[in-house]
Amino acid sequence: MKKQWAGMMYDLLAERTRNGNAKITNRLIDDLTIAAKKSEELIKVLLRTTDAEQVEDKISKIELIAKARSFPNWLATLFDSNIISAWSADELPDPKEHKYWYEFLLATNDFVTTTDVKNGIETYYLHDKANTYIELGPKLDSKKDDPIFREIQLAFEALQQVDPDIQKPILEELVFGF
C-alpha cells in the first residue's frame, strides 16, 4: 500500500511539473509569436518608408504595439487564462483610467482583492473568478519592483498608449464573448 501511495504521489508531482513546464513553454511561444509579428511589421514599414525620421517613429510605434499585445499573455501566465471577463471588450473599463494593471483588473468586477495577516503583516492577494490568486504584497503597489510585475506594468502602460483601433482587438483577447 505504501508503494502505491508513493507511486501516486510521484505521478501527481510529475504531472504538476509537466503542467508548469507546459505553461512556461506556451508563454515563450506566445512571446515568439509577438516577436515574429513585430519583425514582420518592421520589415513592411522599412520597405515602404524612405524618410529616416519616419522610420524611427514607426519602429517605436511597432515596439509599443508589440509590448501592448503581450499584456493578455502575461495575464494568461498569472491566472491560467487570458480571459478576464465574460463581458464584451466595449464593456471593459478604459485602461487609461487606471494607474496599475491590477487596478484595471479590479475595475472589471471580475477580480477581487483579499488580505491575510501573518505574523502581524497584512498581505494583499488578487483573485479571479476561478479563485486563482497571486500575491500583491503588503501594500498594493509593493511588488512594483518585482521583474515580472514590472514587465506586466510596462505591457499595461503600452496598452494605455496605443491607438483605440489597436487597443480594442487586444482587449477583445481578454473577454469571453457570447
- Greater confidence (81 vs 6) lies with 6
Instruction: Rank 53-57, 83-87, 106-110, 116-120 by mean pLDDT and report only the highest.
Output: 106-110
Residues 31, 52: Cα–Cα separation, whole Å: 28
Task: Taking residues 103-123, report their average pLDDT.
Answer: 88
Residues 51-92 pLDDT 10s: 666 777 877 888 999 999 999 988 888 887 767 776 778 888
Residues 13-27 pLDDT 10s: 888 788 878 888 888
CB 110 within 8 A of CB 84: yes
What is the pLDDT at residue 178? 44
DSSP assignments along 118-170, one per residue: ETTEEEEEEE-TT--EEEEESSTTTTTTSHHHHHHHHHHHHHHHS-HHHHHHH
pTM: 0.71
Residues 63, 75: Cα–Cα separation, whole Å: 19
Instruction: For the chain, count helices (H), then strands (E).
Output: 5, 3
